[in-house]
Amino acid sequence: MHTIKSMVLSMRPLQWVKNLFVFAGLIFSQEFLNPEKFLLSIEAFIIFCLLASGVYLFNDIIDLPADKLHPVKKNRPLPSGQIPIWFAALLSVVLIAAGLFWSMKLDTGLFLVGATYIVLQILYTFALKKLVIVDIIVVATGFLLRAAAGAVVLGVEISSWLLLCTSLLALFMVTAKRRQELFRIEAKDTPPTRKVMQEYTLPFLDEILAIQGYGAVLTYAIYIFDPSTSARFGTKYLGLTLPFVIYGIFRYLFLVKVEGRGESPEKLVISDPIFLINLLLWIATVIIIIYFR
């Protein structure tokens, strides 16, 4: 049982929260109440859980020496020695192969998105994570590919403004993660486990964090107030969802800069009751306006 628990933990199930971006296409394509489309989105979600877990294991193997020195990562099953390297490598291959095979059987476009995600993550592990700013963009691109996967599997198009908003929100969360990592390093006066962190400064990350937050609000506002959006959904009331987005970004900034959280975005999203309630209210409001207008 201990081995099974370590194996599951090494797959980082908490990180699967990120894969909820897959459902963006389902909600905004007006197919949320379509059982067939809903099941397709569920399959795409599971596929990305398999792919992401395989990538996490692969990354843990490559970063093993550095993770052993990290105050949090050293407790993961692989760095702590709870599972052997050969087992982690085998599990990584099985998960990625299963995800790609499933995606290929389900939809060619989904397979291409999944394969792009894998290639990008491998490049990130070996090279791109060492490049300042590029490392943030690559991680954020992973979120965008999840949203793209959800749209591709349904055969629908997502507004360019909505995709841009998704990209900025992803950049916002990844930048906040880097900001808090650097804040912890400087506060405890400990050497960074990654060299790229030496290139960043807190004022710089705070500045681009603000730009990304403003950009996300602006692009979302443009999307919901765009006449073509109103015509598509047959309603002009999507503007009622804007306060939830603004509050959500402000709340996230508060949790990062005031409470010192944000180094683990997936934990922050589900552990802060106020943020979670606001998120659920936004989702409920969007669904009510689009589907029960």
Is 0.85 surpassed by the pTM of this model? yes
Residue 1: pLDDT band with limits 50, 70, 90? low
pLDDT, position 22: 92
pLDDT in tens, 12-68: 888 888 899 999 888 888 888 889 999 999 999 999 999 999 998 998 888 877 777
pLDDT, position 2: 62
Topology at the third CATH level for domain 1-158: Tetracycline Repressor; domain 2 (1.10.357)
Arithmetic mean of pLDDT, 186-209:
85
Q: CA–CA separation, 266 vs 285, rounded Å?
A: 22
pLDDT in tens, 85-121: 888 889 999 999 999 999 999 999 999 999 999 999 9
Residues 178 and 136 sit within 8 Å (Cβ to Cβ)? yes
User: What is the residue-averaged pLDDT of the chain?
Assistant: 89
pLDDT, position 156: 85
- What one-character-per-residue DSSP string does the chain give? -HHHHHHHHHT-GGGGGGGGGGGHHHHHTT-TT-HHHHHHHHHHHHHHHHHHHHHHHHHHHHTHHHHTTSTTGGGSTTTTTSS-HHHHHHHHHHHHHHHHHHHHHH-HHHHHHHHHHHHHHHHHHHTGGGSTTHHHHHHHHHHHHHHHHHHHHHT----HHHHHHHHHHHHHHHHHHHHHHHHHHHHHT---SSGGGGG--HHHHHHHHHHHHHHHHHHHHHHHH-HHHHHHHT-SGGGGGHHHHHHHHHHHHHHHHTS---SSHHHHHHH-HHHHHHHHHHHHHHHHHHH--
